[in-house]
């Protein structure tokens, strides 16, 4: 079976490492998914390399066992509160007027857009994605190659991450015995697993509520317009409960999973639940739990909305908000999102094919990484030795420019 092409996605999260394997065919077929708890990260940043490496090793070997495949290289997700994005515009004149645009023109204009932003030496660019080309005066052209024109311009979305964050996540993956095929911004990967093309065309906000960070990605007119992360997510909700109830973090986590609700108004006033306490067991009002949770969930969405506005994002996206990540499993959370963002919100279901294990929204990023890898492999045309690579990807994104890994 030497010609089987296996794609591996690794999501190094704050609470767990998730590994997902898929097989390339005409479509991608998911084979296995596994996760291993990991406490080696804090808000997307590696703070314990050994623990992280071990979690990667465990998740990957479980996937390897259940899919019965050998795994060598991986598409690895990156996030963290210091992930930032900037949109950049560039224009080039075509050397001879009125001739056909070629791939090398596309590369040239993308390179110009990249060099128009100054990226500090301590940061790494992980994506420069075309948001649309302008051919002469015609805007929003998805793929300009082959069109006759005199001028070519592009709008790009550039994502950067601190160099050390990139290095440390890559190190954990490599020390676990794998090589890094590509690094992918996690919200972009998660988008591949839960958003529909119609939503992206209409304009939609993806919110991935993890343990350490809540990642956001705004799509408009079919392409990415803003991405970022806020440092408020599930762990902080658990922390609040631990403080409010005077219990340990693991006890508070258990209580949250069993009885948590994101909206106090949805809980009957007189509902009581028993929770662990220093004395053994205690009874608390479930609405009180919901009040504690709601306050933090609201703050989390407000910060995300603020970040979006600061990034020049428009008002509420017409396609609404889509929630994913483990934190989105809190009952009533979509309702709170609707109130804060003033638009409709739905829970993102993971397009996991027949693989039930991956349907949990905590696997959205891992599954998305495999879809992303598949799409990229489908359209790979540029040679790997190039400084700037342009990949025509039909559908959402037309072209990508990437800094070579560890260049
Ligand atoms: N049923 C549930 N109800 C409420 N919260 C849940 C539920 N299941 C998981 N969570 C929360 O989801 C969070 C973990 O989500 P996820 O696995 O997506 O995070 P991660 O990818 O490890 O972290 P990050 O994306 O921040 O790096 C935890 O805070 C956990 O408490
Ligand atoms: Mg995550």
Contact (Cβ atoms closer than 8 angstroms) between residue 176 and residue 60: yes
In this predicted structure, the answer to whether residue 1 has a pLDDT above a threshold of 80 is no
Ligand 1, pocket-test mutation among 43, 51, 211, most atoms within 8 A of CB: 211
pLDDT the model gives residue 384: 46
In this predicted structure, the answer to whether residue 395 has a pLDDT above a threshold of 70 is no
**pTM, entire model:** 0.90
- Minimum mean pLDDT range among 75-89, 193-207, 276-290, 379-393: 379-393
Segment 330-367, tens digit of pLDDT: 999 999 999 999 999 999 989 878 788 899 999 999 99
Higher per-residue pLDDT: 21 or 382: 21
Give backbone dihedrals phi and psi of 22, rounded to 5 degrees, phi first: -140, 160
In the chain, where are the structural domains located? 84-159+388-401
Compute the half-sphere exposure of residue 18: CA atoms within 13 Å on the CB side of its CA.
28
pLDDT the model gives residue 290: 98
**Which H helix or E strand runs over 163?**
helix 163-175
Segment 292-301, tens digit of pLDDT: 999 999 999 9
Enumerate residues 6+ apart whose C-beta is below 8 A from 231. 43, 81, 212, 213
- Minimum mean pLDDT range among 14-18, 136-140, 205-209: 136-140
- Distance between CA atoms of 242 and 223, rounded to whole angstroms? 40
In this predicted structure, the answer to whether residue 51 has a pLDDT above a threshold of 60 is yes
- Distance between CA atoms of 210 and 328, rounded to whole angstroms? 8
Ligand 1 contacts CB of residue 15 (under 6 A): yes
- Distance between CA atoms of 163 and 147, rounded to whole angstroms? 38
Contact (Cβ atoms closer than 8 angstroms) between residue 126 and residue 185: yes
Q: How far is the CA of 78 from the centre of ligand 2 (A)?
A: 9
Residue nearest to atom 24 of ligand 1 (CA): 210
Give the nearest ligand 1 atom to 41 CA. Answer: 27
Ligand 1 contacts CB of residue 233 (under 6 A): yes
Q: What is the CATH number of domain 84-159+388-401?
A: 3.30.1490.110
Please report which confidence band the pLDDT of residue 245 belongs to, taking 50, 70 and 90 as the band edges: very high
pLDDT the model gives residue 49: 94
pLDDT the model gives residue 406: 39
Near ion ligand 2, which residues have CB within 5 Å?
Answer: 13, 210
Instruction: Return the axis-axis angle of helices 249-259 and 234-245, rounded to nearest 10°.
Output: 110
Ligand 1 contacts CB of residue 187 (under 6 A): no
**Which H helix or E strand runs over 224?**
strand 223-230
- Distance between CA atoms of 116 and 156, rounded to whole angstroms? 11
- Distance between CA atoms of 164 and 154, rounded to whole angstroms? 30
Ligand 1, pocket-test mutation among 326, 329, 360, most atoms within 8 A of CB: 326
Q: How many CB atoms lie within 10 A of CB 351?
A: 17
Average pLDDT of the residues of the chain: 88
């Amino acid at each position: 079976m030497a010609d089987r092409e296996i794609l591996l996605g690794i999501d190094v999260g704050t609470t767990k490492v998730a590994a997902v394997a898929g097989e390339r065919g005409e479509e991608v077929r998911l084979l296995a998914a596994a996760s291993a708890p990991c406490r080696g990260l804090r808000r997307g940043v590696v703070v314990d390399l050994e623990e992280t490496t071990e979690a990667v090793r465990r998740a990957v070997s479980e996937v390897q066992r259940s899919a019965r495949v050998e795994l060598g290289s991986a598409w690895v997700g990156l996030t963290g509160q210091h992930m930032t994005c900037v949109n950049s515009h560039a224009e080039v004149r075509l050397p001879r007027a009125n001739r056909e645009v070629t791939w090398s023109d596309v590369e040239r204009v993308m390179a110009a857009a990249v060099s128009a932003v100054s990226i500090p030496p301590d940061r790494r660019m992980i994506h420069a994605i075309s948001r649309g080309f302008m051919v002469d005066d015609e805007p929003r052209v998805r793929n300009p190659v082959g069109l006759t024109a005199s001028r070519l311009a592009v709008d790009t979305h550039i994502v950067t991450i601190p160099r050390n964050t990139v290095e440390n996540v890559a190190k954990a993956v490599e020390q676990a015995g794998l090589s890094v095929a590509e690094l992918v911004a996690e919200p972009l990967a998660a988008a591949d697993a839960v958003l529909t093309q119609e939503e992206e065309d209409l304009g939609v906000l993806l919110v991935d509520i993890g343990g350490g960070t809540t990642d956001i990605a705004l799509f408009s007119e079919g392409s990415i317009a803003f991405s970022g992360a806020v440092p408020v997510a599930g762990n902080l909700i658990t922390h609040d409960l631990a403080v409010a109830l005077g219990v340990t973090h693991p006890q508070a986590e258990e209580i949250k999973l069993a009885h948590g609700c994101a909206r106090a108004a949805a809980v009957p006033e007189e509902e009581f639940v028993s929770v662990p306490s220093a004395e053994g067991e205690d009874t608390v009002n479930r609405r009180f739990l919901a009040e504690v949770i709601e306050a933090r969930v609201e703050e989390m969405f407000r910060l995300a909305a603020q970040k979006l506005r600061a990034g020049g994002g428009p008002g509420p996206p017409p396609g609404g908000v889509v929630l994913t990540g483990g934190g989105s499993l809190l009952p009533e959370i979509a309702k709170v999102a609707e109130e804060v963002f003033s638009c409709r919100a739905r829970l993102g279901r993971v397009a996991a094919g027949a693989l039930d294990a991956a349907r949990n929204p905590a696997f959205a990023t891992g599954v998305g990484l495999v879809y992303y890898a598949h799409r990229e492999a489908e359209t790979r045309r540029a040679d790997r030795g190039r400084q700037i690579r342009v990949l025509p990807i039909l559908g959402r994104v037309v072209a990508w420019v990437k800094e070579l890994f560890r260049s």
